[in-house]
C-alpha cells in the first residue's frame, strides 16, 4: 500500500506535511530551495517587521540541559520590503511569510510589499514572548487580533495563519477571536517565556533576561494545546513545539495537526531532517493502513 504524504491547510495543498518553523534558517531563498529539495513541504520565514530590526545584543541563545534552547534574538530581520526583493524570484518553494507588528496598518503595509512574490500563505506572529508591543502583547488583545485578521483578509487571497502562544490571557480565547475573524489556520504554539541565570556571575544569561524556550521541553505542552484547539474548533492546525522525530510528528497529527513544523531539531544535520521524518511518517502510515494524512488527523480525539 502506497501512502500519500500530501496534506491540506485550508485551500493550501502541500506535497508533504513537514514544514520549517519560523526563526530557524528562515532568511535565505537559497536555503529555502535546499530545504524544499531535501523534503520540506513548505518553509516559514523568519518573522518580518515593517522596518528592519537589529534585535538584541549577545548573548541571545542559551542551550538548556537535557535539550532545548532559550532564545531572545529580538526578531532581528531586514524588514518586509527588503525581504520581498530577496524572494521575488521564487517559483518553486511554498513560502509562508511570517509577519509581526503592533497594529492593523503594519500588517497591511507588509503584505502589500509581497504582492509581486509567490507566497503560499502568511503566518501572523501573535505570540513572540520576548519583544515588547508585538507578539504576545498583540495576541493577548482579543479585539486587536480580530481587527488585524479582518484587515489582512480584506487585502489578500492568500491563506492567513495565526500563530498563537501562551501569554497572560487564555490562548483559546485568542484562537476563538481569530477563527471568528475568518483566519484560515492556526499555528500552535510559539516558544514559552523562560530564563536562565549564571550562578557564578549571579546574573541572567540572556541580554534581554527573558527569552523563549523551544525544543523538546515544550513538546508535551504544545501537543496538549493542539489537542485542545482541535477539540474545540473546526480549523486546520500547524502543530509546532519540540518535534524532533517522526514519532513526535505522528503524535501531533493524531492530536489534530494537518501540518507539523519544527526548527530546534535541525542542528548539524538539517538537510537530512525532513527526509528522515517524512520517511518515518510514511512507514507508520503503511504499517497502520492509512492511505492519506487526512485519515490520521485528529484520530486521538475521535477515540
Per-residue cell: 288: 497502520
128 classed as catalytic: yes
229, 220 contact by CB (below 8 A): no
Q: How would residue 1 be classed by pLDDT, with cut points 50, 70 and 90?
A: low
pLDDT tens across 76-101, in order? Answer: 999 999 999 999 999 999 999 999 99
Nearest alpha-carbon partner for 295 in 248, 260, 258: 258
Q: Which residues are annotated as a binding site?
A: 22, 46-47, 71-75, 125, 163, 189-191, 215, 241-242, 263-264
- The predicted model scores a pTM of 0.95
pLDDT tens across 144-180, in order? Answer: 999 999 999 999 999 999 999 998 889 999 999 999 9
Q: Which residues are annotated as a binding site for FMN?
A: 22, 46-47, 125, 163, 189, 215, 241-242, 263-264
Mutual angle of helices 29-37 and 80-87, in 10-degree steps: 50
Q: State the burial class of residue 167 (Cβ atoms within 10 Å of its Cβ: 0-12, 13-18, 19+).
A: buried
CATH number for the domain formed by residue range(s) 7-302 = 3.20.20.70
Judged against a pLDDT cut of 80, whether residue 33 lies above it is answered with: yes
Amino acid at each position: 500500500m502506497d501512502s500519500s504524504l500530501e496534506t491540506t491547510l485550508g485551500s493550501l495543498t502541500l506535497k508533504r506535511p513537514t514544514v520549517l518553523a519560523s526563526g530557524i534558517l528562515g532568511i535565505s531563498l537559497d536555503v529555502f530551495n535546499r530545504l524544499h529539495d531535501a523534503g520540506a513541504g513548505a518553509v516559514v520565514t523568519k518573522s518580518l517587521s515593517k522596518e528592519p530590526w537589529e534585535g538584541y545584543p549577545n548573548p541571545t541563545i542559551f542551550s538548556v540541559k537535557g535539550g532545548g534552547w532559550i532564545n531572545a534574538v529580538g526578531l532581528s530581520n531586514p524588514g518586509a520590503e527588503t525581504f520581498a526583493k530577496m524572494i521575488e524570484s521564487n517559483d518553486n518553494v511554498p513560502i509562508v511569510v511570517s509577519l509581526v507588528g503592533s497594529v492593523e496598518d503594519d500588517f497591511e503595509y507588509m503584505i502589500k510589499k509581497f504582492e509581486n512574490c509567490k507566497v503560499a500563505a502568511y503566518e501572523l506572529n501573535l505570540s513572540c514572548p520576548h519583544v515588547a508591543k508585538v507578539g504576545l502583547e498583540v495576541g493577548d488583545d482579543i479585539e486587536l487580533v480580530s481587527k488585524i485578521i479582518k484587515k489582512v483578509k480584506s487585502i489578500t487571497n492568500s491563506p492567513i495563519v495565526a500563530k498563537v502562544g501562551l501569554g497572560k490571557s487564555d490562548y483559546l480565547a485568542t484562537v476563538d477571536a481569530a477563527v471568528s475573524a475568518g483566519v484560515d489556520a492556526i499555528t500552535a504554539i510559539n516558544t514559552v517565556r523562560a530564563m536562565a541565570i549564571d550562578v557564578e556571575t549571579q546574573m541572567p544569561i540572556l541580554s534581554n533576561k527573558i527569552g523563549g524556550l523551544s525544543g523538546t521541553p515544550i513538546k508535551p505542552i504544545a501537543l496538549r494545546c493542539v489537542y485542545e484547539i482541535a477539540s474545540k474548533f473546526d480549523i486546520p492546525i500547524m502543530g509546532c513545539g519540540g518535534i524532533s522525530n517522526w514519532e513526535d510528528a505522528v503524535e501531533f497529527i493524531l492530536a489534530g495537526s494537518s501540518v507539523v513544523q519544527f526548527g530546534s531539531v535541525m542542528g548539524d544535520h538539517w538537510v537530512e531532517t525532513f527526509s528522515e521524518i517524512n520517511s518515518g511518517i510514511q512507514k507508520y502510515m503503511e504499517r497502520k493502513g492509512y492511505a492519506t494524512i487526512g485519515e490520521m488527523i485528529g484520530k486521538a480525539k475521535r477515540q
